[in-house]
Amino acid sequence: MGHTAKADGHVTLQEIQAAEQIFDHMNFQPDQRNAAIELFNKGKQKDFNLDEVLAQFKKECGRKITLIQMFMQIQLQAAYADGSKHPAEDKILKDICKVLGYPVSMLSQLEAMLYAQNRNYSGSPNQPSSRSQIGNAYSVLGVKQNAADAEIKKAYRRLMNQHHPDKLISKGLPEAMIQVATDKSRQIQKAYEMIKNFKKAK
C-alpha cells in the first residue's frame, strides 16, 4: 500500500488515513498495527523491492485466489484514497497483477465494483432508489442493467460464494481479513436486494 501510494511521487494525508482505516478494519492488535505502519513506510522507500515481496506473498497464498483478490481490492483502495488513480499507480497495479498471476481484466472489474460502492447507493434497499444508485448496484454485482434475472442471481451467488466469511474461514483466510470479507458480502447483499426491489416496483 505504501508503495502504491508513493507511486505518484508523494503520499497524501488521505492515503495515510485510508491505510489506517484498513488497519482498524482488520482489528490489528497494537504490535500488529505498529508492524503494518512500519511496512507501509518501507513500501515508500526507493529501494523497496516490490517483486520480491509479491513473490513471497504469492507463495504464502498458494491457490487461495480469493485472498489475492482481496489484496488487490485493498491496493485499489490505496490508489483511489486521494480521489483519483494516477497513471503511475495504475502501472504498479498492473505490474502487481502480472507478478501474482491475477488477470488485469479482473482488476478492471474490481475497479468498477469499487467505484460503484464508493458512489452513493446508501440508504435502505427497501426504499425507492435513484437511477444512479441502481446503476451502481448493478456494477457492484458486475452485470449490465439489461441482464436477465437468472444472470443477476447467478452473479450474486458467485460473489457471495467468493466473499462469504464462513466459506473463506474454511479455506484458511487469515483472521485479520474476515471483517473485510464481511463488509464485502454485506455490500453485495445490499446491491442485490436493491435491484430486486427496483424490479418489483417497475
> pLDDT of 148-157, one tens digit each?
999 999 988 9
Q: Which of 117-121, 123-127, 163-167, 183-187 has the weakest average pLDDT?
A: 123-127
CATH topology of domain 120-202: Helix Hairpins (1.10.287)
Task: Assign 116 to helix, strand or coil.
Answer: helix
> Structural domain boundaries of the chain?
1-118, 120-202
Question: For residue 94, what is the enclosing H or E element?
Answer: helix 87-100
Q: What does the pLDDT average to over 173-191?
A: 76
Taking 50 as the threshold, does the pLDDT of residue 123 lie above it? no
Residue 111 pLDDT grade (very low, low, confident, very high; cuts 50, 70, 90): confident
Taking 50 as the threshold, does the pLDDT of residue 189 lie above it? yes
pLDDT score at 190: 87
d(Cα 122, Cα 117) in Å, to the nearest integer? 9
Q: What does the pLDDT average to over 41-70?
A: 88
State the cell numbers at 132: 444512479
**What are the backbone angles phi and psi of residue 6, rounded to the nearest 5°?**
-85, -5
d(Cα 39, Cα 51) in Å, to the nearest integer? 15
More confident residue, 65 or 145: 145
Q: What does the pLDDT average to over 116-139?
A: 64
Taking 70 as the threshold, does the pLDDT of residue 173 lie above it? no
pLDDT score at 127: 52
Q: What does the pLDDT average to over 30-52?
A: 92
Residue 9 pLDDT grade (very low, low, confident, very high; cuts 50, 70, 90): confident
**Average pLDDT of the chain to the nearest whole number:** 82
Q: What does the pLDDT average to over 8-22?
A: 88
**What are the backbone angles phi and psi of residue 158, rounded to the nearest 5°?**
-65, -45
Contact (CB, 8 A) for 128 and 201: yes
pLDDT score at 172: 60
d(Cα 125, Cα 137) in Å, to the nearest integer? 10
Per DSSP, the chain holds a count of helices (H) and strands (E) of: 11, 0
